[in-house]
Amino acid sequence: MIDLPSRKKVIREFQKKGGKIAAVLPIRYPRELFRAFGFLPVEVWGPPHADVTLGGSHLQSYTCDIVRNAVSFLLSGGLDRTDLILVPHTCDSLQGMGSVLLDFVHPKQKVLTLYHPRGVRKADFDFLTEELKRLCGELSDWTGGEPPPGAFWEAIYREETADRALARLYRDRELLGLSDREFYRIVRSREFLPAEDFIENEKKLARREKRSTSGVPILLSGIVPEPMDLFDEIETMGARVVADDLACGTRRLYKSGHSEDPFVRMAERLFSAPPDPTRGSPISERADHLKNLIRKSGAKGVLIYDVKFCEPELFDVPLLRKKLEAEGTPVNYVEFEMGKILSQQTLTRIEAFIEMIG
């Protein structure tokens, strides 16, 4: 088993070495750019333990919990050790958060934003390249200068290596002898571990025999599986996760780029991710992608597990359901409110679904 340090510890160690910390909201951004500037990106996916009432003083109750919890966490001092906050423009809720931070909350950290385009046309690609340059420019202005050119490439190669390690973890997941919870703890350590540590950890993981195939195989889709107890619950219900379409999981399996221009290369990587509504991918493309994952993994059902009020996900559910069920894969949509514990109702729905497909 791998001993994963806590986020806190990782932050402290990185700072000890003179590094700075960037808190990053979901979903997409160029890790390598931040590393080149000496920042360790530490992602904030609405920590479940935040006190939401604080966020409620800035955002209405119909904002998703990821955003409300993140704002609450910030206001309660949870991000005090960070130097900057990056709020990617992922959806209308994160747009609101970024804007409210910049215009009203004025946290002590520098607030930066990033617009990922919603298409995959040449115009979108070129825009993203320019947008990355802008972000780089803002970082230079703020930190007082660009890093040496070598630093860019070093960071890019390192992140590409880490993403290949992540892809290998997914490929070998059945051979690792890990529970789902352990597996996702390691996958999700990419959210805060320096790439070099992630790469080392992946190397340490021994491949064994294929795990015994008890449990109903399911595909888990959604933004983020919180709280992580979810995996224990799924296991006691007699199922196991054999594939995912999580925004914090395979939706960020980035490939290595080809270009010799660092910005083009970063854009290539971001563009290589699987379909995702927050990138504007057509629904049929998403459905085909999921069918493919189902075929490869042998999943018997798809559990879409999403935080309430997540519009990008909600719009896709009925058609995904229709398209997947037409091919004989049952789909169940369950929404949850981000908190320390899972509600009984949420659990009952999941369990009934597992009984149904089992």
Partner 1 sequence: MKALAALGIDVGSSTCKIVGVDESGELIWHLLEQADPRAEDQVQRFLKAAEQKFGPLKAVPFVATGYGRKLVKDAAKNITEISCHAKGVYHELQKPGTLVDIGGQDSKVIVIGAGGRVVDFAMNDKCAAGTGRFLENTAGRLHVPLEALGKTALSADREETISSTCTVFAESEIISLVAHGVAVEPILKGLHRSLVSRIVAMIRSVGLVSPLMLSGGVARNEAMRKLLEEETGEKVHLPQYPQLMGAYGAALIGLKNG
Partner 2 sequence: MTESITIRGKLRYQLAVNVAGRLTLAFRRRRNERKTARPGWSRDVLAPPLKLSARMKELMSRHYLGGRYANGAKKVAWVTSGAPIEILKALGFYILYPENHAALCGARRKTVEIASEAENAGYSRDICSYARTDIGAVLSGKTPVGRLPRPDVLLACTNICQTVLYWYRVLADYFKVPLILIDTPFIYEEAHAHDVAYVKRQLEDMIPAAEKIAGKKLSFKRLKEVVRFSREASFLWLEVLDRAKHRPSPITAFDGFIHMAPIVDLRGEPVVIDLYRQLLKEIDVRISKGIGAVKHEKKRLLWDNLPIWFKLRKMAQTFAGYGANVVAATYTYAWGELAPMMDETRPLESAAQTYLHPLLNQGTGHKLESMQKMVREFSLDGVVLHSDRSCKPYSLGQIDQRDYFVNHAGIPALLLEADHNDPRSYSDQQAENRIAAFMEILEDSSNAD
Residues 146/281, Cβ–Cβ less than 8 Å: no
The DSSP secondary structure of 52-116, one letter per residue, reads HHHHTTTS-TTS-HHHHHHHHHHHTTTTTT-SEEEEE--SHHHHHHHHHIIIII--SSEEEEE--
Q: Position 40: which residue type? A: L
Query: What minimum distance in Å lies between the beta carbon of 85 and partner 2?
Result: 13
Q: Which stretch binds ligand SF4 (CB under 6 A): 59-67, 148-156, 212-220, 230-238?
A: 59-67
Which of 33, 75, 218, 223 forms a contact with ligand SF4 (CB under 6 A)? 223
Over the window 291 to 330, marking each residue x when it contacts partner 1 by CB under 8 A and - when it does not, the resulting string is -----------------x---------------------x
Q: Which stretch binds ligand SF4 (CB under 6 A): 28-36, 108-116, 190-198, 308-316?
A: 308-316
* 279-283, long-range: CB < 8 A, 24+ apart: 279/28, 279/116, 279/117, 279/118, 279/120, 280/117, 280/118, 280/119, 281/120, 283/316, 283/319, 283/320, 283/323
Q: Which residues of this protein are in contact with partner 2, per CB under 8 A?
A: 57-60, 62-63, 89, 91-93, 95-100, 102-105, 113, 115, 117-119, 121, 123-124, 126-127, 130-131, 134, 277-278, 280, 282-284, 308-309, 311-312, 314-319, 321, 333
> What's the rounded Cα separation, in Å, for the pair 25 and 70?
8
* Residue 34 interface partner, choices partner 1, partner 2, ligand SF4, none, CB cut-off 5-8 Å depending on type: none
* Residue 103 interface partner, choices ligand SF4, partner 1, partner 2, none, CB cut-off 5-8 Å depending on type: partner 2
Does 354 contact ligand SF4 by CB under 6 A?
Answer: no
Handedness of CA 318, 319, 320, 325 (dihedral sign): positive
Quick one: 61 exposed, middle or buried, by C-beta within 10 A (0-12, 13-18, 19+)? Answer: exposed
* Residue 352 interface partner, choices ligand SF4, partner 1, partner 2, none, CB cut-off 5-8 Å depending on type: partner 1
- Interface size with ligand SF4, residues (CB under 6 A): 14
Nearer to ligand SF4, 70 or 357 (CB): 70
Q: Position 350: which residue type? A: I
Does 356 contact partner 1 by CB under 8 A?
Answer: yes
Nearer to partner 2, 119 or 298 (CB): 119
**Token pair belonging to 185:** 């703890």
Distances (CA, A) of 24 to 58, 101, 249, 271: 19, 13, 16, 19
Report helix, strand or coil for 333. strand
Does 114 contact ligand SF4 by CB under 6 A?
Answer: no
Does 278 contact ligand SF4 by CB under 6 A?
Answer: yes
Nearer to partner 1, 212 or 344 (CB): 344
Residues 204/2, Cβ–Cβ less than 8 Å: yes
> What's the rounded Cα separation, in Å, for the pair 27 and 307?
14
**Which positions touch ligand SF4 (CB under 6 A)?**
26, 64, 66-67, 90-91, 93-94, 223, 278, 307, 310-312
**Which positions touch partner 1 (CB under 8 A)?**
308, 330, 335, 337, 343-345, 348-349, 351-353, 355-356
